[in-house]
Structure 1
Amino acid sequence: MTKLLIKRFIKDYENTQNSDVRTAYGKFSSIVGIVCNAILFISKLIVGTLSASVSITADAVNNLSDASSSIISLLGFKLASRPADEEHPYGHGRYEYLSGLMVAVLIMVIGVELFKSSLDKVLHPSAVEFSWVTVGVLAFSILLKTWMALFNTKTGKMINSNTLIATAADSRNDVITTGAVLVAAILSHFVGFELDGWMGLGVAVFILYSGFGLVKDTLDPMLGKAPEDEQVEEIRQKILSYPGVLGTHDLMVHDYGPGRQFASVHVEMAAEGDAMKNHDVIDNIERDFMNDEGLHMIVHFDPISTKDNTVNDLRIWIGEKVKEIDERLTIHDLRIVYGITHTNVIFDCVVPHNMDMTDKEVKKAINDMVKEKYPTYYCVITIDKSYAAMPH
């Protein structure tokens, strides 16, 4: 059914890399959420009021908040689709992340309110009117919310949208919430023990836990989360496939919203090679990443001496020795400046953020190892931080 609706209402639905198509997916998903949640809110509010059930009424309010979340998502997709301008040259894609964060916060607010109302029902229990109409409404809600969770999960993955993934998680929470309310209503009727408030407390705790995770997931890209290892390795392997490329390092990926990623990377090529040919390869790398992945890539050329055996042997030796300090350490851009009294060995060392040693201690440890074998060598080390785990 999901695919049928997508084909019916979204033009060029397979072209998910297109920003207009992504926006169409987001708008359509939001409208579906608004309509479905409005239906559930009205039906549960009527049933909850007639049966005097705090959990059913709270579930109705939860659906009203879901409708509000869908409106926020709709606004987020609309704002995110705005083109770049002079004040925002990277576009407005992060509006989508902001809308996802607002949805996650709303989920937590609902969890707090449900916890308060459920606690009050536990402390001051009152009878809940049971009817099979109530069971029917709640069962219908479970089925509809299950479909909505599957619908938003599928569309969210198709366009890589944290907002829709958060909405799908919210629908999944609603399935659990309404299921718990339904179980409580049936057990309370047949067992004779009032479970309405207790079940509400359990559901509220689950919603709060889920909401906290969603807040973290939507905050990560806005705070500058490191790219996934799979993406880093794909970028690395693609760069290494070009002729003349000897290695790559210093990858940085900046996320300005889904489909709006910018990256920079250093590429090592032979210093003795033809400058124009090397430049042409770099141009091809940048253009291909833009055409194939939609990734705005800036490539910095690092010339590597390939005919000086002393430099090559020393690069390999130091590269292996630094791993005795920490397996995650790597070096690059090594060159040698010979002198009368001493020789400078100049290179960069990539250090992870959670390294136990200070930058000064790392430099000293490497320098001491090199001096032990080469007493006249002095290391001039620039410490780099690892913005993406890219071995080379």
Structure 2
Amino acid sequence: MHDHAPTPGGGIRGAGSRRLLAMSLAITTVVMVVQIVGAAISGSLALLADAAHMFTDAAALVIALIASIVASRPANDRRTFGYQRAEVLGALVNGVILIVLAGWVGFEGVRRLIEPGEVEVAGTLMLVVAVVGLVANGVAMWLLSAAQRTNLNVRGAYLEVLGDLIGSAAVIVAAIVIVTTGWTQVDAIASLFIAVMIIPRAVGLLREVVSVLAESAPKGTHVAEIRDHILSTDGVVDVHDVHVWQLTRGAPVFTAHVVVDAAALADGRASGILTRLQSCLSNHFDVEHSTFQLEPAGHVEHEAHA
């Protein structure tokens, strides 16, 4: 037999973690609204770009929280896997919105660089709003700092907030330059910097959506390694028709046909083999939904004939 070390899961599994994420979402959303209002009043494109940057985090948190609730709904005869794909559909919409926002911010930033002075930027108000954003992001990071060491989902939110912190810092630098020198073009430069930060994350989100919808193996999952673990289980002779995909992030599904030694089938050890295989997938590869078809040698030829 082989030993399996538990692997942390990617889902939201606990009221404590969910509560922390909800608090971070509340802070992020409030600051995002303040930045949008501040951008409209001050004329700062950088503030608006930073609000779009914070939208990426708010959207990710909303998707995760809603998906955790929707996914808890029981499966039925119509949706046999339940509603876990809700997260993927939401991520698809958010990814498209982010690409559009980043494109518009980039276009507007270049336009303001080419035509300086067309828009007046209130540097003082811009600075105040940016500082509020920096402080709020700092508080959110503090809330998540302890849990992010042990929870992967909270870790992801922590890194997202860190990105917001960097964006707010860029706006603060731009606001200080405007207040002290009057050079308003730095606002456009800061907005372009933030837009560049948004695009890779949006593209990565869409790439993950495509991977899930194409039913590709989850990132970091090595089918060959899973196959080796199955083959090393006592009583297993061969394995074929191995398939692994994911319903949504952190919800992998696995199926395989496993050829079992005839003596094991005759001795009634099939149930024990099935339990060990499912435990292997659950504990070592974090696959909670696995389906194995146990079959005797020669059955694969029968399948091909059928």
TM-score by length of 2: 0.72
**1:231–1:156 distance in 2 versus 1, CA, 3 Å:** farther
Q: What is the number of equivalent residue pairs in this alignment?
A: 289
Residue 220 of structure 1 is aligned with which of 211, 224, 227?
Answer: 211
- C-alpha separation in 1, matches of 2:212 and 2:239: 24
Pairing 1:145–2:170 present: no
**1:136–1:253 distance in 2 versus 1, CA, 3 Å:** same
Contact 1:45 1:60 in 2 (8 A): yes
Residue identity in the other structure for 1:183? V
Contact 1:69 1:106 in 2 (8 A): no
1:254-293 matched pairs, under 5 angstroms: 254-257=245-248, 260-271=251-262, 275-277=266-268, 279-286=270-277, 288-289=279-280, 292=283
Question: In structure 2, what is the equivalent of residue 82 of structure 1?
Answer: 73
- 1:64-104 Cα distance to aligned partner (Å, 9 max, x none): 67556644544333222211011011121111222233333
Q: Tell me whether 146-155 or 30-39 shows the greater mean CA deviation.
A: 146-155
1:244-255 matched pairs, under 5 angstroms: 244-255=235-246
5+ residue gaps, structure 1: 1-15, 305-332, 334-345, 347-381, 383-392
User: Secondary structure at 2:151's aligned position in 1?
Assistant: helix
Question: In structure 1, what is the equivalent of residue 4 of structure 2?
Answer: none
Question: In structure 1, what is the equivalent of residue 101 of structure 2?
Answer: 110
Pairing 1:300–2:294 present: yes
Question: In structure 1, what is the equivalent of residue 168 of structure 2?
Answer: 178
Cα displacement (A) at 1:202:
3.1
More strand by share: 1
Contact 1:254 1:262 in 2 (8 A): yes
- C-alpha separation in 2, matches of 1:157 and 1:231: 24
Question: In structure 2, what is the equivalent of residue 97 of structure 1?
Answer: 88
Cα displacement (A) at 1:37:
2.5
**1:48–1:96 distance in 2 versus 1, CA, 3 Å:** closer
Percent sequence identity over aligned pairs: 22
Pairing 1:129–2:129 present: no
Contact 1:23 1:81 in 2 (8 A): no
Contact 1:82 1:92 in 2 (8 A): yes
Pairing 1:158–2:151 present: yes
User: What is the CA RMSD across the aligned residues, in angstroms?
Assistant: 4.2
- C-alpha separation in 2, matches of 1:64 and 1:259: 22
Residue identity in the other structure for 1:178? S
Cα displacement (A) at 1:199:
2.5
Bigger relative contact order (CA 8 A; separation at least 6): 2
Contact 1:94 1:222 in 2 (8 A): no
1:315-354 matched pairs, under 5 angstroms: none
- C-alpha separation in 2, matches of 1:60 and 1:260: 31
Contact 2:231 2:238 in 1 (8 A): yes
5+ residue gaps, structure 2: 1-7
**1:61–1:96 distance in 2 versus 1, CA, 3 Å:** closer
- C-alpha separation in 2, matches of 1:65 and 1:270: 52
**1:240–1:69 distance in 2 versus 1, CA, 3 Å:** closer
User: Secondary structure at 1:297's aligned position in 2?
Assistant: strand
- C-alpha separation in 1, matches of 2:263 and 2:56: 64
Contact 1:282 1:299 in 2 (8 A): no
User: Secondary structure at 1:195's aligned position in 2?
Assistant: helix
Residue identity in the other structure for 1:145? N
Cα displacement (A) at 1:212:
0.9
Cα displacement (A) at 1:195:
1.4
Residue 202 of structure 1 is aligned with which of 190, 193, 198?
Answer: 193
- C-alpha separation in 2, matches of 1:137 and 1:76: 32
Contact 1:243 1:281 in 2 (8 A): no
**1:266–1:71 distance in 2 versus 1, CA, 3 Å:** closer
Give the structure with higher Rg (CA). 1
Question: In structure 2, what is the equivalent of residue 310 of structure 1?
Answer: none
Residue identity in the other structure for 1:91? G
Residue identity in the other structure for 1:53? S
- C-alpha separation in 1, matches of 2:17 and 2:90: 11
- 1:29-73 Cα distance to aligned partner (Å, 9 max, x none): 553244213331344345445543232244346546755664454
Question: In structure 1, what is the equivalent of residue 32 of structure 2?
Answer: 41
Residue 43 of structure 2 is aligned with which of 24, 49, 52?
Answer: 52
Residue identity in the other structure for 2:177? L
- 1:14-40 Cα distance to aligned partner (Å, 9 max, x none): xx9798x63857853553244213331
